[in-house]
Amino acid sequence: MPISIGQRPAPDFDHPIELMMDCHRRIEKFLQVLDRVASRATLDAETRPALDTALHYFKTAGIRHNTDEEGDLFPALSALGGQAAELVEKMDRLAAEHRTAELVHHRLNELGGHWLKANELSEADLAEFRRLIRQLIGFYAQHIAMEETEVFPVAAKALDSATLRQIGRNMRARRVENPGRVASQCAQRRNAQLK
């Protein structure tokens, strides 16, 4: 694994909450990529692979991230009671927001897939693509803020180390079952961690 001087090491499955936060940074990064691509009317050698990679990220890693939260983190917190029980309504809201975002991503994938095939979008489709990107950027800013300021800090304090290890193992298993693109940097780093 390469070492970057002055940067923290990438989170791993032994630190699942930090890994979920790292996923948030990737979501933000790929939204920026989509926003940059949407600023153009046609695809070129730079924007075509960027669009394809960003769309693929949300179809694969984005779904795994939602499952990490809804399948493991939220239920573990809900089972605790106390301060974590006060978050149940917020966690239900966050899970519902995942469904809403999935619908927007589905339409974005349709438009993006057409764009990749035809190399251009009609003015109306391009305007819709741009609107959907702006909608997702605003949505994720609020969604991520709630998770990182309200849910994750409680999880870090309230969940015991055995529960956190199990969440990390479950996250790892999801990525072994569906590793993503073999050539992606994320998949390469993940594969190195799995060995």
Per-residue pLDDT, averaged over 136-163, amounts to 96
Show me where the domains of the chain are located: 16-194
Of 33-37, 84-88, 158-162, 164-168, minimum mean pLDDT range: 84-88
180 within 8 A of 58, measured Cβ to Cβ: no
Q: What is the pLDDT of residue 176?
A: 87
Q: Where does residue 47 rank: exposed (0-12), middle (13-18), buried (19+ CB within 10 A)?
A: middle
How distant, in Å, are the alpha carbons of 67, 109, 157, 191 from that of 133?
22, 11, 34, 31
Q: Does residue 1 carry a pLDDT above 70?
A: no
SS3 label, residue 27:
helix
Q: Tokens representing 184?
A: 């992606």
Q: What is the pLDDT of residue 5?
A: 55
Q: Does residue 2 carry a pLDDT above 60?
A: no
Dihedral of CA atoms 90, 102, 21, 36 in degrees, nearest 10, equals -130
Q: What would the pLDDT profile of 70-127 be if each residue is shown by its tens digit?
A: 999 999 999 998 878 889 999 999 999 999 999 999 999 999 999 999 988 999 999 9
pLDDT confidence bin for 151, thresholds 50/70/90? very high
Q: What is the pLDDT of residue 84?
A: 81
Q: Tokens representing 44?
A: 């070129």
The CATH number, out of the four listed (3.40.630.30, 2.60.450.10, 1.20.120.520, 3.10.20.30), of the domain defined by the range 16-194: 1.20.120.520
Dihedral of CA atoms 10, 191, 112, 99 in degrees, nearest 10, equals -70
Q: Does residue 35 carry a pLDDT above 70?
A: yes
Q: Where does residue 160 rank: exposed (0-12), middle (13-18), buried (19+ CB within 10 A)?
A: exposed
